[in-house]
Amino acid sequence: MRRGVEDQTGHRPGAREAADVPAAGPHHHASTAEVRRYVADRLEREQPVFRRAVARGELAADVDPALLGDLLAGAAWLRVVFRHVPAGDDFVVRAVDTVLAGAANRG
């Protein structure tokens, strides 16, 4: 899967404005249900990107797109929230490359 490549609609998988992400918790207004709907919607909209990557032979046919997203989001969350280290462009590029390399079609 080519990192940073927009699909036909101009959508970049995983790219979004921070304001689009509903925050949940005691100091935020979004409910857990709203956050779940948001995440489910994002995953649904990104499915065509994953299907095309599988069709091109870039990702294994049995890749789990939700797992890929969880691995990337989890890495960013751990880095920013728990380690208090910025998730700059270099980190994002290395994280995406590492996760996609693990999900690559090896056949």
* Domain assignment of residue 80, given as a range: 18-103
* Residue 10 pLDDT class (50, 70, 90 cuts): low
Does the residue 49 lie in any domain?
yes
- 85 part of a folded domain: yes
Q: Is residue 4 part of a domain?
A: no
Q: Count CB-CB contacts under 10 A for residue 33.
A: 10
Spatial distance between the Cα atoms of 95 and 62, rounded to a whole number of angstroms: 21
Let me know if residue 6 belongs to a domain.
no
Q: With beta carbons less than 8 A apart as the criterion, state whether 73 and 58 touch.
A: no
Q: Is residue 45 part of a domain?
A: yes
Instruction: Summarize pLDDT for 16-75 with one digit per residue, the tens.
Output: 444 455 554 555 667 888 888 888 888 888 888 888 988 999 989 998 988 888 898 889
Per-residue model confidence (pLDDT) at position 18? 45
Nearest to 64 by CA among 78, 55, 54: 54
Structure tokens at 44: 């649904």
- Higher-pLDDT residue of 4 and 100 is 100
Cβ count within 10 A of residue 40: 11
Q: Identify residue 60 by its one-letter amino acid code.
A: A
As given in the structure block, the two tokens for residue 31 are 């409910």
Residue 5 has pLDDT above 50, yes or no: no
How many domains is the chain built from? 1
Q: Is the pTM of this model over 0.85?
A: no
80 inside domain: yes
- Is residue 55 domain-resident? yes
Structure tokens at 58: 């870039």
In a domain, 2, yes or no: no
Higher-confidence position of 6 and 103: 103
pLDDT higher for 13 or 28? 28
77-100 tens-digit pLDDT: 899 999 999 989 999 999 999 998
